[in-house]
Structure 1
Amino acid sequence: MSTPFTEAAGIPVGDPTPVTTFSPVVLPVPGRPVDLRIKVSAPATGGDLPVILLSHGHGPSNFVSSLHGYGPLADFWAAHGFVVIQPTHLDSTTLGLREAYDPEAPVYWRSRAEDMRHILDHLDRIEAAVPGLKGRLDHSRIAAAGHSMGGHTVGLLCGQGVADPADGTPVDLSDARVRAGVLLAPPGGGEDLAAFASEHLSVLKTTDFASMTTPALVIVGENDHNPAFSDRKDWHTDAYHLSPGPKSLLTLFGAEHGLGGVAMYDGAETTDENPERVAALRALVWAYLRTTLYPGDSAWADATDALNAMPEPLGAVESK
């Protein structure tokens, strides 16, 4: 007999509520080659709702790397009290700009962070555009989450250092409005970048975590190792080990770069598809953000206790 999948893999969370999803909300951005299109997922009821900006990765699929992806995360977080805002960055294959003659192509590292900042600059406009959302956001409780290259984007918002590959000028894209970050399988430090990535994604050579001071949860897969990016098997953990606290690190046992399938439902390209792993990840992120954005909330302690008490834990957490 098959066993039904769970929503939170035994991690304690609140009861889910119905979700409304509205897209696209279109924001004109001066100088951007196309308008910024976003999707908003929100609880159908309630007020003073915290916000998660969710940045997609730089994956190979046609639509996953856009506002259409990451449903397993966005749907869950919205059902449990967050308003989730998902931009389509310029590196999305839906836009056809990866091969453009642009110094930031193909990953558009600076534009990605500026997309997120533009959303924060226009939260009032977004509220007004989404039916039933006006006046329901808590603008003081904002988090950012991102997978893979999206993790790099979130790192920039949290103070991660980077230099413009064109001239070596340091670039500061941090934003104090982002009070917590969640970096899922993010790129590591630039010193150990492999030759392939150095050639094709040169901005990653300058990644430095010494100034990434915003509280953050870094999530990595135990088996996430790609020699095209680094020979070091723990490279994706750099955002935790090389940044100042407060930080937490969640290592998911047996997970690869897809972390069980965070980017899509039933995606064949997910090499380590595991719905229970995704259930645990999204519940642990929910708990981390509840405690970080609402000091005194016991959700994170309760969640890590539940993880550690599992007969066969899906992962391990350490903090500093």
Structure 2
Amino acid sequence: MSKPFTEAAGIPVNDSAPVVTFSPVVLSVPGRIADLQIKVSAPSTGSDLPVILLSHGHGPSNFVSSLHGYGPLANFWAAHGFVVIQPTHLDSKALGLRESDNPEAPLFWRSRAEDMRCILDRLDQIEAAVPGLGGRLDRSRIAAVGHSMGGHTVGMLCGQGVTDPVDGTEVNLADPRIKAGVLLAAPGKGEDLAAFATEHYPVLKTTSFATMTTPALVVVGDNDWSPAFSDRKDWRSDAYFLSPGPKCLLTLFGAEHGLGGVAAYDAKETTDENPERVAALRALVWSYLRTALYPEDPAWPAACAALMDTPNPLGIIECK
């Protein structure tokens, strides 16, 4: 008989609550090619709820890279006390804009960060649109989480350096309303970008981390390596090593770019399907954000201790 999958892989978390999900909330944004559609997931009870903005990856699937994806993460964090807001960025395959003549295509890297800032600007409108959500958000405790290209988006919100490859201007979209970031399998520094990625995604050639000052957790898989992006096998950990503290690095053993399957339930979006790895990742991110947003909460040190106390730890953590 097989064993059931766990919710949090032995990491201590609070009791879960039923989740209410509402989508789409449609925001008309001047100058945006399409309306900004978002999904909101929230615990059915509670007030003064912290907020996570969750940015999807670029991804090969039609709908996983949209507000419809990342259920294993969004549902868990909402069940454990966060309001999770997920936009569909313009690079989502569902919108059919990747091959357009827009100068930001195919990644729409600037628009992605602007989407997140727009959501923050319009929290009142979002609260009013979602039944039962009004007055329940804690606007002082907001985090951003992103996977892959979503990690690049979160990096920009946290102060990561980017230069527009079209006109050479430095772009600063850091947002002080974001109190903590989580970068999941994000791109590394631009100088080490491989020729293929430089040709197809030139903005990634400009990525730097010296100004990424917002506290952040960087999550990488020790088997997440593609020579199309970099010759360096530790390239995706650059956001930790090359940025100023405070930062933490979670390295998941055996994990590839999908980190066990964070993007969807039972989807072929990942090459390393491992529900227990996903359970550990989402619980560790929850713990990190609890302590980052509520410094008196011991969730993060307790989670780090629990990870190392297991007979076969799924990963290792270091901080600076």
Give the alignment's TM-score, normalised by structure 1.
Answer: 1.00
For residue 126 of structure 1, give the secondary structure of its aligned residue in structure 2.
helix
Give the equivalent residue in structure 1 for 2:46. Answer: 46
* 1:239 Cα deviation after fit: 0.3
Whether contact under 8 Å (2:60, 2:269) holds in the other structure is no
Q: 2: CA distance between counterparts of 1:261 and 1:305?
A: 24
Give the equivalent residue in structure 1 for 2:318. Answer: 318
1:143-164 CA-to-partner distances (Å, cap 9, x unmatched) read: 0000000000000000000000
For residue 192 of structure 2, give the secondary structure of its aligned residue in structure 1.
coil
Aligned pairs for 1:240-259 within 5 A: 240-259=240-259
Q: Does 1:262 align with 2:228?
A: no
* 1:235 Cα deviation after fit: 0.2
Aligned pairs for 1:89-104 within 5 A: 89-104=89-104
Whether contact under 8 Å (2:263, 2:269) holds in the other structure is no
Aligned pairs for 1:161-310 within 5 A: 161-310=161-310
Q: 1: CA distance between counterparts of 2:43 and 2:268?
A: 29
For residue 306 of structure 1, give the secondary structure of its aligned residue in structure 2.
helix
For residue 78 of structure 2, give the secondary structure of its aligned residue in structure 1.
helix
* 1:250 Cα deviation after fit: 0.1
* 1:270 Cα deviation after fit: 1.2
1:168-200 CA-to-partner distances (Å, cap 9, x unmatched) read: 110000000000000000000001100000000
Structure 2 residue identity aligned to 1:122? R
For residue 286 of structure 2, give the secondary structure of its aligned residue in structure 1.
helix
Q: 2: CA distance between counterparts of 1:268 and 1:69?
A: 13
Structure 1 residue identity aligned to 2:154? V
* 1:167 Cα deviation after fit: 1.6
Q: 2: CA distance between counterparts of 1:255 and 1:300?
A: 21
Aligned pairs for 1:55-134 within 5 A: 55-134=55-134
Whether contact under 8 Å (2:52, 2:145) holds in the other structure is yes
1:32-77 CA-to-partner distances (Å, cap 9, x unmatched) read: 0110000000000100000000000000100000000000000000
Q: 2: CA distance between counterparts of 1:120 and 1:310?
A: 39
For residue 126 of structure 2, give the secondary structure of its aligned residue in structure 1.
helix
Q: 2: CA distance between counterparts of 1:139 and 1:242?
A: 30
Q: Does 1:154 align with 2:171?
A: no
Q: Report the number of matched residues.
A: 320
Q: 1: CA distance between counterparts of 2:93 and 2:205?
A: 24
Whether contact under 8 Å (2:249, 2:319) holds in the other structure is yes
Structure 1 residue identity aligned to 2:84? V
1:117-155 CA-to-partner distances (Å, cap 9, x unmatched) read: 000000010000000000000000000000000000000
Q: 1: CA distance between counterparts of 2:186 and 2:158?
A: 13
Aligned residues with identical type, % of pairs: 79
For residue 117 of structure 1, give the secondary structure of its aligned residue in structure 2.
helix
Structure 2 residue identity aligned to 1:37? Q
Q: Does 1:18 align with 2:5?
A: no
Structure 2 residue identity aligned to 1:107? L
Structure 2 residue identity aligned to 1:134? G
Q: 2: CA distance between counterparts of 1:45 and 1:27?
A: 25
Q: 1: CA distance between counterparts of 2:69 and 2:145?
A: 13
Give the equivalent residue in structure 1 for 2:4. Answer: 4
Runs of 4+, deviation exceeding 6 Å = none
Give the equivalent residue in structure 2 for 1:139. Answer: 139
Q: 2: CA distance between counterparts of 1:198 and 1:93?
A: 21
For residue 191 of structure 2, give the secondary structure of its aligned residue in structure 1.
coil
Q: 1: CA distance between counterparts of 2:157 and 2:269?
A: 29
Q: 2: CA distance between counterparts of 1:97 and 1:268?
A: 23
Structure 1 residue identity aligned to 2:124? D
Q: 1: CA distance between counterparts of 2:264 and 2:163?
A: 32
Q: 1: CA distance between counterparts of 2:2 and 2:15?
A: 24
For residue 17 of structure 1, give the secondary structure of its aligned residue in structure 2.
coil
